[in-house]
Structure formats: structure tokens, C-alpha cells
Structure 1
């Protein structure tokens, strides 16, 4: 990593950058209606060349994704070659899109010098049709029907396929495939390590076409004008099969058969015996080495390959095993140092898998909105309706690089607020990458000219919480804690970019200039009474507790960055004053809603709520206790006296404002009064309001679960919140796991489950309050228990509860794995983890997107924080 960061050797040039799914994405959608899921389906994916990226099982590629490696399998019973992960589209799943495979990312180093994953492949026919039909039969009140539910693993008639990569050098990759037969009878498996070029030649006339060529019976030569020359060395394959990464128009569209060997040719040859589907000249742009292996009962077989720059080598496997041994030892040493303070081996294993998943989930991402809208010159023009359709306001956006993805199957696309949390976790192992990524999202080819950050690929214009300044502070602090030096240049560069974003928020999301913000759904999907991204069905506007609080938090993060920068540049003191005063205005507006005599705080309930301001002037409080009312606690910062001492101009201005604007000073918490160790606190919630909200939040009959804070209060389980006006009726019921509504596609749910990112922000906020109040303030936790804890102790209690999602309990069970006996007890399953999108508010069972979902990687930070010195 040091060599890569210094530019001495490009260790990050190759890595696990291939998506788990490219089909069904917005980038590949050229339809008139914008129905990405239907336009390019799983069934079509094996025959259709992708325009913007590739997918694979255990894929590997360079940072420009010119050349890819990936594994294909065939058990002799399936109707198709297993080349990519199967799952249901949003319309097929009873709770939205859902991958229907079992695979795990088990290990990785930040430079991809070593990486390991496990794929479980049934020996019986893969139940494609059953998974589709059964999920279609089920409704939103039923659970999803998963691969494990079909029984294909019940008698251990399956293969554990372990895929390992190790680098001998930046351009020298070793590839080991271990096939273990978990069954009690021998079983045959067709194993096909594949190599192919991303199709960059079909879209523009005259584009260069790379080439793969067989060199004897055990090597494939790759020639690419940009990447150079590489050779894939193989050990004793039965055959080398070649075709082209080109679309099979005859199969997909019924056009007359054309000459050529198409993308599905290798599958047609292996599964259907069509030798005419592969090129007898043994050349093309896609190739596979066919190994037919008979694996004894309970035994295993190992296949080896080596992909390296230059010509074929006669000694390709001479040092293969020694290099793997060395790289694994280096990975162990890397994590041993990182986890030196963590004594529990199970906790270390959970953290290591969480970090491995974050590293594996980096993905090559290419998308040029202008090219996508207008179509490619060598292809039929897309429908004219596309010119003014999805993302047409983002014609400036274009990128082709590796980014941290939320989830490489269910969310293999750009998502800005998820991204911020990914980087906080990745900073634990690769601060340089985290910093570069945060700078990337602020670059002019992503950030809109008006200052908006793109939200997510399905709608870049939607609005997500402004969490990126906070991410910058965390990354900065992480590096400073580990090295003793904070990267001021990084912090300043991000700050300047985020000034533009802050201005966009103020100009675009503060309707009427009242310092009250309406951001739409703000990442919380279906949490409210209404779809907050659409016009309200009863008219009027929604004054959002979370929207305004997110902006107060944004102000404080920018204030803290400005004061940090002011250590070396006095000009930032004035900028810090600007954010302090803007924060006071927002705090005042939360109490008096822009002069309307209303407040987001409700004295009756001791909680924060949204307000509906109707067109006829009626003002309606929406007394639904949800995460929306907890977000105000995120607007908190603590400042040490030494930081203020180095910014005397700011300190004088702050004192003047507090003295001359007492009506504002009275609305926020303790900026004038020193707390523990002389610290100063600036927060939206004063002590009374903060403790009142916490008493609700820490009540196990409301928000507090065994595994973290629920997104809404459990009191709505049997008595839902009901809103009625002018014949319109809506209700919100506590729903602890999958969504029972179709809002936002129905594939996520904020009406009860535990979500890691907001739990993490709450823990961070409690730490800050605790730094100020110290031991002087205690609160009952859980509410009604009689146990009094300091705020720092409450934060650690929440960390422990979140950790219980993944750690074994006294009975050896992990909450995340739910009630699946095999997942809980089988030695080949029980220690392999997936990091779900969110978790059942009653049981902790993992729900939603299931494969290394980015922000759930924060469990690595939670574990790290539990073991920091002094705790």
C-alpha cells in the first residue's frame, strides 16, 4: 500500500472490480419507458453484450475494466452455464429485487494483493423457476423465498467453490479455485475459468478490437492496445473454448442467424453440446478453459491459473504455492496489527469479513449520461423520449473509474449517501482510497454545476442527507489518530467543494428563505405518512424535522472543518463564523418554523415531529414517533478550548452574537458554558430536550431493541398511527422486517427495522454529548430499568447491541442468520456472514440487500471503537 500511495508500483491496478450484476441496471437500459429491469434481464444477459460494464462470479479486472477474469460452472443438470449471480427483479420479488444465491466475501487486503470468496453451488438443478414462481405467489406480508428455503442444501449435495486471488506483482495475478464436495457421493463439476474483454468496439465505428488467442493447450494470450499484452496460464485444461463478447441477435431478437461466435457460445457448447458455437480457430474476445473434475465425497480438487503481463512462461506454477502462502501470511499480519486490541476471536472474524466485503465491493463504474441519452453512433438510435427522461438534467455527468458500491448485486450503482458511510469504514484499512473517493464525488464531472451532489443512479436529482462533510471529518480524524498527522490539504479541498453543495441546499431546499428545509424522502424511504418525494396528496408543504436537522448537522460539520483549517489560515475564522451564525438561525427556525409560531419540538410528547402546512393555512403536527424525531440529536459538536484559542477572531464573534442575539442563544445548547475538561457544546437539543428524546429512544417498548435503535417506535405495532384529512386516510404501522407497502419499490423498510448508518450517527452524537457532560449527566438505560449510565456508556451499550447482530450468543447463534438451522449450526455455514441492508427490529434477522451492503460495513467501526484505549 505504501508503494502504491507513493506511485512506486501500481498495486491497485487490478482487483476485484467486476460487478456481481450488470443486467437490470439503469446504465444498460435503452428502453423508451425506463424499465431497466425488463430491458436487459438475467435471461438476456448471457447473450447480450453490455454497454457500460461487466459482471461475473468472483470477477477480477483492471481499473479501466479492459480485461476481465471470472468463473463459470456447470453441474451437468442446469439449463444454462452459471456465469453470473441469479436474482429476482423488482417486479418479480414480493419485496423488490433480491439476489437468490449463497456466496460470501471472506478476506481481502486493500490493494487486492490477496482476496478470497466462497460460492455455494447446488449439485441438483438450480431452482430458477421455483424461485420466480414462489416469490410471485407470495404477498408483501410473507417473507421472501430464498435459495436456502428450496432445500437444495439440505443433504449437503452441493459444492463449496472457493476463489482465491494473490498478486506476485502488480501485473502478475495468481488464481486458485478450490472445489469441495460437501456431499456423501462423488460428484462431477465443469469448471471454466474465463477471460474476456469488455466490449468497447460495438458502439463507435472504427473502434479497435482486442484479441485473445490460444497458445498451445494451456495458455491464452491477450492483446489490448491500452492494457498491453498478458498471458493466462492454466493447468491441464481439457479444452480451450473461444467466442466473442458480442450480442447474439438471433437468440434475443429473432433476426436471421449471422456469422460469428457470440457471447453465449461457450455456454451453448458446454451445456448443449453445440461445438459450432465456439471458434475452431481458437481466437476471439472471450475464452474459457474447460476442466471437468470428479470430486470425491467429502473431498476437494484444486485448479490453478496465473495471469501475468508479457509472453507465456514455462515456470508459471513453480512458485505459485509459495506466493499464496506469503500473501495469506501478509494478510494475517495486516489484520493482526489492525485488531491487536480486540481479544475476542469471533469479534475479530466479524470485523475482518466486514472489511473484506467492503474491499470486494469496490467496482468499476462507467456512465456517461450524454452518450447514454443520445445513443451510440454504431447502434440504432434510442427512443426520442429518452432525451428528456431519467437523468436528462445531468448531462455533464460522466465517469469511468473504480468506486465503492453499496452492494455489487442489489445496488451495483452510484449512491452518494451510502458512499459516505462506505468511506468511513474503508478509512480503517485504506485512508488514501477513502480520501480519493470522497474527493471524486465532489468533482465537476459528478457534482452538478449548481452544487448538488448526485443522489443515486435511478434519479440523480433526488436528495439524500448531507453527510459528506461528516465523512470528511471522520476520515481526517482516522488518519490523524493512526499516523499522528491529519491531511490538511484533503480537508481543505473537500471543504471548498462542499461550500458549493451547502449553497445549493440553502438556495434550493429552503423554500421561502426561512431556514426550514424540505429535502424529500432524504434516504428514509417509506418512513412517513406520505411519499415525501412527491406532491402531498392533501396539498401543502411538509416541514421536515429530519431535513432541517440534517442541515443543522451540515452547518456544524462545516464549522468544525473551518476551525480546523483556521489553525493555519486565519481566513477560515470568518467562514467558521458564517456557519456558526447559520446554525443559530436554523436552530431558531426549528423552534419557530420561520416565524409561524410553530416548533418542530412538541412539549406535549417531549419529541420532535414533522408539521404539515396546508394550502389553506391549517398547521397539522404529524405526531409519528420515528427516526425523523431522533435526527435532531445528530446536530451536535464539541469544541476543545485549544481549538477556540487558535481562532480568536471566531471566538470574539461567537461571544458577540451570543450576547447580542440572546433569543437565538437560548434555543441551542450551552455554547457559552464550559463543560467537562473545558469543552464547549453546540447542539440543537438542549439538555432537557436531549434527555427527553433519549428516554423515548432507550425505551424497549419503543425504539430500543436488543440489536440497536429501531427506525420507528414499536408502540405502532398494534395501534398504527393514522392520518385522515378530506377523505384521505393513511396509516403507519410498526413493521419490524420486510416492507408491507410498495413505497419506493417495497425493497426497503424504515417502519421498524434497525438501520446501521443512523445507529452509527446516534452513537457518535452520544459520544459528543458525553464529552461535554462527562459523569455529571446520567440517563436511565434501558428506560424503566433503574440502571443509570453516562452518555458515553449509553453509546457503548448501543455498540454492544449492534455487535450482537453478528456475534454468536451463548447458544452459538447469530441473530443475523435468523431461524435457518443450517445457517446457524452447520460448520460450513455458521461462520460465513453476509452484511444485510437492515435488520429485523424484533429479532435482528438480516433483511433487504444481503451481500456486503456498504453501510453495514460500519460494524467494523463499531467493533474498533469498542476496543479503543481508555474504554
Structure 2
């Protein structure tokens, strides 16, 4: 992220309010600590937000577009949504916006926002969702009627860089409604407030360039000077009114303070425009925030109004908006078309190409600047009241004082305020590697750097609880990024691998409490998939041996084994590391299958399925007989053992032979068979018989197989009730939004289809299929009489996932019953990339705005990479 062309990018969040970082409360209620209703008048501590905005790599200077329809009580400056307690299915964005296009260097970017012409129904959205139960659908913006008859403006922002620090900006607004409507556009520029807290006194200044300083006609301009960033000038075409205020809190309005630190606080521009308060803005035309105020009393139906701006270091001249400006936009757009013409296979259908390009745009637009120093946050700032000692002791993330990030990170979703989760980011890196492999590699390395990774080796899970546990998919992602990038960057592989050695040890030391080889781990990213919250403490003396945690660790071993073998080909010093992971996998496989006894086995012979097992204080083991994704994940423990280890990794080959002679009971998971091309070997957690039994359930339409992928919970699950430590717990199949409050009620692994685990399952079925060949077939669907190879089964999963975005009778299944399913091309042209999908209908659910890991669809739509030559 140090390349000059990446200095400016879409790193500005869509919203910053309600984040953990902005929460300085005693009770840790981030939503209540900094609500949406404060955002327009209260300075943020750790970030900024805006609509379709950009900022510099360090987040000092920010640009975005605000708007007003003449009716709203406040300017539309940032994304609005419901907090966890306000939404009947957890937090939810109540806006419509789309990342339209983008290139990896952000030389070309487009973003679109759909702005109602009626007053924005903030209170109606809150009140109706509060009234609705968890058995009802969310009440969305389209349900209020404000978008009827297309009574909205489409406000599109386009960015084209003439040079690394010269950005041409075009804002267009089109009235799609049947009548004329007023519109105010306010492109804004401001400095992040770093000076109010006592740690950084570099207060930038933004002042209007006035005659005789500025003699160019037909524009207005402001200059922004900063001690670190230097000087930039933002020029705006035409004759807008230039408004200035300061990026400071209006403490008088919000908290009843006697006075503010400035006469012109953060909401000054909004009060001037909406309330007509001329005293709210600085008549001296200076401050730390400025806006160019464009007004149209009546934009006609179908009419488009345009605003042009330019951000650069040089003063404007007569050519600032001349032919060269238009040429830059045309050139950058053409370059983007040429780039995606090579990235996206030209043989794809036009609809598939459109979906893939939008998926890439979403990933590139959700590169967000993430600033957070946990020690500073815990201890408080020099010019803020010191936190109480009890707050510091019991504070969220108090064990993560080392974490100090000021990096651009791939975020799950622009709505998600911004935050990162280690396993989300790892999945993002797969499609990112097709368009921006350097950034993908940087992301995987970043999570392992000493200012992110815990000194004990744990990777940070997510902002609400860095110490929680995400599945260990980092090594898998690293290998695939290395592969997509052409097997050429071994230095990257070494950098990741050496840090993952620490992380692997953390898992072994912390999540295998008895040393049995069976792992715990908590919810492991799959929120409410279990009978109870697996991250919560169990009653004294109980422990939970998890099928998914153990499977993830077997999978982790195999990926580390694979990387170590690759490094061994060039340096035999890595051989012994490969043998370490080989033997560790074998010991986990032995524990999981418990070849000596079935008393505590995670495998249930009667059901032909893997389950979590609850071990009571007296040692009694009780399987939690819920057929869910946790029982499918043992399939992930499969990887080829290449024949070339005999010649290129002699230490590994010798150790393998020794184990076969001296520890034959341990090497059961190493399977081999003769094939025309030579002897094939595979390490598999699941033997052929058990694999066949699991797959019969997985491809049963009455259980896991849906038309759009593999469900997270068997559809045959009725209400399962159990007792844990004297407490009744239950679970049942829920194909759509969660009906429980577990994990806030905004996530559901009790039936819906999730992209990332489906991609992993298909990946490993393909691995198993290459080993077994045509000799292993299964019925798909179960009981249909239609037999498929495992490779064909993997292809079916992939095509089911991509089918979510392919129109059926003119509508994408993923659009479901939402307004995106409208027959209007104004909605049809904008696919959304949802967090998860209804297990029966395929409708997109959860966060529905460019959710990162669902962008894996672009990876699936590209012609598949040939079998891995290193391991085929």
C-alpha cells in the first residue's frame, strides 16, 4: 500500500458511528455510546465516514459527497441503519448503494447511491422494525413507499487519476422520478480530527482560495494544508457557495455543555443548508471542513445534473476542467475495460462478466483504512477524562494491548462499520489475487505481523473480541494466492509460513486442553450453528470436543504440510518441518476417528456422521446429535501426497517409510492406489466408507443439498432439545434469517447457504475426486439414480453457487423478494453480494452490500485453474 498510485483510494468508511473503537462507555455498549443521531455533530476519534468517499492512505484528508432533498432533517452524509437492538434480525443497513467499478490502483472508480426524493423515513424504519418479531421479515427502505414510481435520484461518483496525486472527480445526479424535484449536492473535504485528543497536534487548515490568489474564472477552490500530508487544492467547477466549519463536536447541542471549542462545529454546514442558519459557518472562509454547495430548485424527470471537481497539489489553472480532464476520465475508463478484458475470461456470458466485475469492484471499494491502537483506547487520551480502573481491567480486548493498526484492510462489507475478521479477509484474498495479487499477499502477511498477531501467536479474530477464534484458513488462502500468482513468490510463502508456525502452536497449546488431539475453539465463525453458544463458558468440569475445530486443525496441518513441501523443493532444511505437520495430522486423524475405541469418537456409527461431543465431569461422552456443517467439515482434511517427495524431499520420504513400518496404526489416513499415471497417495481424514455415508446426507435434498449450495444445517432437523449442565437448549432448521437472539440475531448458520464453506467443500471434493477417479461415484441427488464422480459433485456445488446470480425467468435467485428483484432495469443491473443465502429459496440475507467473501463468485466464474501441478 506504499505505491504512489495507491496513496488515494476508497479507504473512507461508509459509516464510523457505533464502532467498538468509538465506544468509551463504561458498559461497552458501542451502539448506544456513539449512535447515528450523534454522527452529524460529533467528532470521531479513530476514523471518518462519508458517501462514496476517498481519503489518503493515512486518513488525514477526506473527500465525500453529501446531499439534501429539501425535506430531510439532516444532510445525507453517511450510511444509516439499525443497531443490533433496533433491528428485528440484528443490525441492518437501510440504504441502497453499489460499488460499480474500480481498478486495483484506484486509478478509476465508480460508486452509486440511490437517494429518495421524499423525506428519508428514519423514524418509520426504527419503529416498524422494533414492532416486528423475529418471525417476520425486516422492514426495508423500499417497504416505506419512498422509492415508489422511481422517485429517487441516482447519485454517481466517478474518480479518475491523472497522476498518483491528481484526482479528477465527476458527480452526476439523475432524476428517475415522474416529476421535477429539488436537489442539493455538497462535495465535502475535511481533515480527520487528530488534535482534540492530545496525541497529535497537527491540525490541518482548509481555506478558500480567493482573488487575487485565484484568478481562474468559472470555478471555486479551497486549499488544504497539513503538517504531514502537505498541501492539496480541491477545485470545483461553476459557482457553488463555499461553506466552512470545523471538524469538532457540537457539545452544546449533544450534551448540554456551556460552550463548544469552536463557534463552528462539525454540523455547521448541515445547519446552514437545512436550517438556513448563516451563523453556523465561518464567514472568514476557513476551518477544518469545507463544502461546495450546489443547488437545483427543480431537476426535471430524466434530467442529469453534473458537478466536476479536481483534487491535486497544484493550483488550478485555465485548463483544470478542460479537454485534458475529460481525456483522463475516458482513458482511465478504457484502461479499466482493457484490464477486466484480460482478468475476466472473454468466453463468459455477458451476465456472468457483469457479476464478476461487480464482485471485484466490491472488493476493491471495501479496502478500508483501519486505525486502532488498543493501548491508547484502553488508557484514554491525554486531553480526555482518565477511564476508571474497573473499565480498564474488564474492558473488551484488554488482553490485546499490542495491537496497533493503521493499515488499509480488506473489510467484509462497507456497512460493517468498518471492521475485519481474520477468516473473512483470508477468503477475500482468493478473488483479490486475480486482480491485485500484491495486495492479497500483503493482507495475509499483515494479519501475521507483530502489531496484529498476539505475542502468543493468536491471530486477531474481529473487533468485538480479538481474542475469539476464527477458523484457521490462513495457510489455505496463502497457498491459493501463491498458486494464482503463478508460484513465483516464495518469499511471500516463507513470510506467512514462519508466522503461522507460531499460530499453529497457539492452537495446539490453547485449544487442545487435554492433549488428546481433539480440539475446542468456540463458535469458530459459525455463530449460532450449535445448540448453545460454544464460545460461552461451559458448566464447571464440562468440555466440548468439536468436530469442526478438530477438522479445521487437520486441514491446517495439511496446508502447512503442503507449503513446507513446496519450500523443501528449493531448500531441504524445510524437510523436517514438513514431517512435523505430516505426523501431527496423523495424530489428529487418529484421535478424531479413535480407532481403538468408539466410546468418545466424534464419528457416530449409527448415524454415519460426525458430531461435537460433550464430555461431562465424570468422563461420560455425549454426542450432540445435530447434523450440521460441523459434521461435513471433516471432508476438508484431504490433500495429495506428491510422488516427487521420493526424489525432492528425501527426509519426508524416509520418515513416511519409517512410519509405515513401525507405526502402521498411525498411517491409516494415508491412502494409496495404482493409476495409469502412476501410484497416487492422499492424506484423508475420512475413509472411503465414511466419506460415502457423509456424502449421501450432504447430497440429499431433504438434508443438506439445496438448489443453491450446501446448507449449514440439515433440513431434516426438527426441534432438537438437550440439557447441558441442567439447562435446556434447542435448535431447529431455519433456512432464512435467525429467529433467535444468539450472537445478536443477525447471523444464521442454522440452515442458510454460506459461500466460503461451500467453496472449501467443493475444493476438497475435487481433491478426493482426483485421487479416486471414476471408481468412486455417488448419487446426486441421493436416491435419484444419477451417479456422479466426486469432481462432478464439486462442479455441481460451484454451479449452484454461481446460479444464485444467474437470472431465472428474468430474476436472480439471490434477489429473492427484495426490491432488487423488480422488473425495472434500474434495479436489475445491480447485483448484490449477500452475507448468506436462504437454504430453500436462495434469497440473499444478512449484509447485502458487497459482502467480501461472496465475491468468491468471481473466482468461481473464471475458468478453473488446472489441477495443481505441485500436487496433482
Using structure 2 for the length normalisation, give the TM-score.
0.96
Q: Give yes or no for the alignment of 1:456 onto 2:462.
A: yes
The residue number in structure 2 matching 1:787 is 786
User: In 2, Cα distance between the equivalents of 1:104 and 1:726?
Assistant: 48
- Tell me the alpha carbon deviations over residues 622-646 of structure 1, each in whole angstroms, 9 at most, x when there is no partner: 1110000011011111133235531
- Relative distance call for 1:131 and 1:206 in structure 2 (3 A) is closer
User: In 1, Cα distance between the equivalents of 2:287 and 2:87?
Assistant: 37
Where 2:600 maps in the other structure, the secondary structure is coil
Q: Give yes or no for the alignment of 1:166 onto 2:165.
A: no
Q: Is the 8 A contact 1:179 1:295 kept in 2?
A: no
Q: Is the 8 A contact 2:672 2:679 kept in 1?
A: no
The residue number in structure 1 matching 2:856 is 858
TM superposition shift of 1:341: 4.5
Aligned residue runs from structure 1 range 127-276, under 5 A: 127-204=121-198, 207-216=201-210, 218-258=220-260, 259-276=262-279
Q: Is the 8 A contact 1:346 1:807 kept in 2?
A: yes
TM superposition shift of 1:173: 0.5
Query: Which range moved further: 80-89 or 654-663?
Result: 654-663
Task: Return the match for 2:587 from 585, 588, 602.
Answer: 585
- Tell me the alpha carbon deviations over residues 729-762 of structure 1, each in whole angstroms, 9 at most, x when there is no partner: 2221100011011111111000000001100110
Q: Is the 8 A contact 2:672 2:680 kept in 1?
A: no
Task: Return the match for 2:292 from 273, 289, 292.
Answer: 289
The residue number in structure 2 matching 1:487 is 489
Q: Is the 8 A contact 2:751 2:839 kept in 1?
A: yes
User: In 2, Cα distance between the equivalents of 1:537 and 1:130?
Assistant: 43
- Relative distance call for 1:320 and 1:868 in structure 2 (3 A) is farther
The residue number in structure 1 matching 2:448 is 442
Q: Is the 8 A contact 1:48 1:263 kept in 2?
A: yes
Query: Which range moved further: 176-185 or 536-545?
Result: 536-545
Where 2:233 maps in the other structure, the secondary structure is strand
Q: Give yes or no for the alignment of 1:302 onto 2:306.
A: yes
Q: Give yes or no for the alignment of 1:500 onto 2:506.
A: no
Where 1:679 maps in the other structure, the secondary structure is strand
User: In 1, Cα distance between the equivalents of 2:82 and 2:412?
Assistant: 18
Q: Is the 8 A contact 1:640 1:678 kept in 2?
A: no
- Tell me the alpha carbon deviations over residues 599-626 of structure 1, each in whole angstroms, 9 at most, x when there is no partner: 1111111111111111133221111100
TM superposition shift of 1:172: 0.5
Task: Return the match for 2:414 from 408, 411, 434.
Answer: 408
- Relative distance call for 1:360 and 1:868 in structure 2 (3 A) is farther
The residue number in structure 2 matching 1:373 is 378
The residue number in structure 2 matching 1:694 is 695
User: In 2, Cα distance between the equivalents of 1:75 and 1:441?
Assistant: 43
User: In 2, Cα distance between the equivalents of 1:208 and 1:122?
Assistant: 39
User: In 2, Cα distance between the equivalents of 1:516 and 1:40?
Assistant: 42
- Tell me the alpha carbon deviations over residues 308-347 of structure 1, each in whole angstroms, 9 at most, x when there is no partner: 1132333111111111111111101111111234320000
- Relative distance call for 1:266 and 1:777 in structure 2 (3 A) is same
What 5-or-longer segments of structure 1 have no aligned partner?
none
User: In 1, Cα distance between the equivalents of 2:818 and 2:579?
Assistant: 55
User: In 1, Cα distance between the equivalents of 2:39 and 2:551?
Assistant: 44
The residue number in structure 2 matching 1:357 is 362
- Relative distance call for 1:758 and 1:205 in structure 2 (3 A) is closer
Task: Return the match for 1:427 from 423, 433, 449.
Answer: 433
The number of residues matched between the two structures is: 856
- Tell me the alpha carbon deviations over residues 62-81 of structure 1, each in whole angstroms, 9 at most, x when there is no partner: 11011000010000000000
Using structure 1 for the length normalisation, give the TM-score.
0.96
User: In 1, Cα distance between the equivalents of 2:289 and 2:861?
Assistant: 43
The residue number in structure 1 matching 2:777 is 778
Query: Which range moved further: 374-383 or 509-518?
Result: 374-383
The residue number in structure 1 matching 2:475 is 469
What 5-or-longer segments of structure 2 have no aligned partner?
211-218
- Relative distance call for 1:726 and 1:534 in structure 2 (3 A) is closer
- Relative distance call for 1:669 and 1:735 in structure 2 (3 A) is farther
Query: Which range moved further: 706-715 or 644-653?
Result: 644-653
The residue number in structure 2 matching 1:832 is 830
- Tell me the alpha carbon deviations over residues 155-213 of structure 1, each in whole angstroms, 9 at most, x when there is no partner: 11110111111111100001111100001111110000000011111111671211101
Task: Return the match for 2:811 from 804, 810, 813.
Answer: 813
Task: Return the match for 2:74 from 66, 72, 80.
Answer: 80
- Relative distance call for 1:519 and 1:674 in structure 2 (3 A) is farther
Task: Return the match for 1:536 from 531, 535, 538.
Answer: 538
Query: Which range moved further: 384-393 or 742-751?
Result: 384-393
Q: Give yes or no for the alignment of 1:67 onto 2:61.
A: yes
Q: Give yes or no for the alignment of 1:336 onto 2:341.
A: yes
Q: Is the 8 A contact 1:711 1:753 kept in 2?
A: yes
User: In 2, Cα distance between the equivalents of 1:92 and 1:206?
Assistant: 36
Q: Give yes or no for the alignment of 1:97 onto 2:62.
A: no
The residue number in structure 2 matching 1:647 is 649
Q: Give yes or no for the alignment of 1:40 onto 2:34.
A: yes
Task: Return the match for 2:321 from 307, 317, 323.
Answer: 317
TM superposition shift of 1:380: 2.0
Where 1:663 maps in the other structure, the secondary structure is coil
- Tell me the alpha carbon deviations over residues 40-91 of structure 1, each in whole angstroms, 9 at most, x when there is no partner: 0101011111010011100101110110000100000000000001000111
Q: Is the 8 A contact 1:405 1:411 kept in 2?
A: no
User: In 1, Cα distance between the equivalents of 2:559 and 2:436?
Assistant: 23
- Tell me the alpha carbon deviations over residues 292-312 of structure 1, each in whole angstroms, 9 at most, x when there is no partner: 123211121111111011323
User: In 1, Cα distance between the equivalents of 2:281 and 2:469?
Assistant: 48
TM superposition shift of 1:691: 1.7
- Relative distance call for 1:374 and 1:549 in structure 2 (3 A) is same
The residue number in structure 1 matching 2:403 is 397
Where 2:716 maps in the other structure, the secondary structure is helix
Q: Is the 8 A contact 1:23 1:45 kept in 2?
A: yes
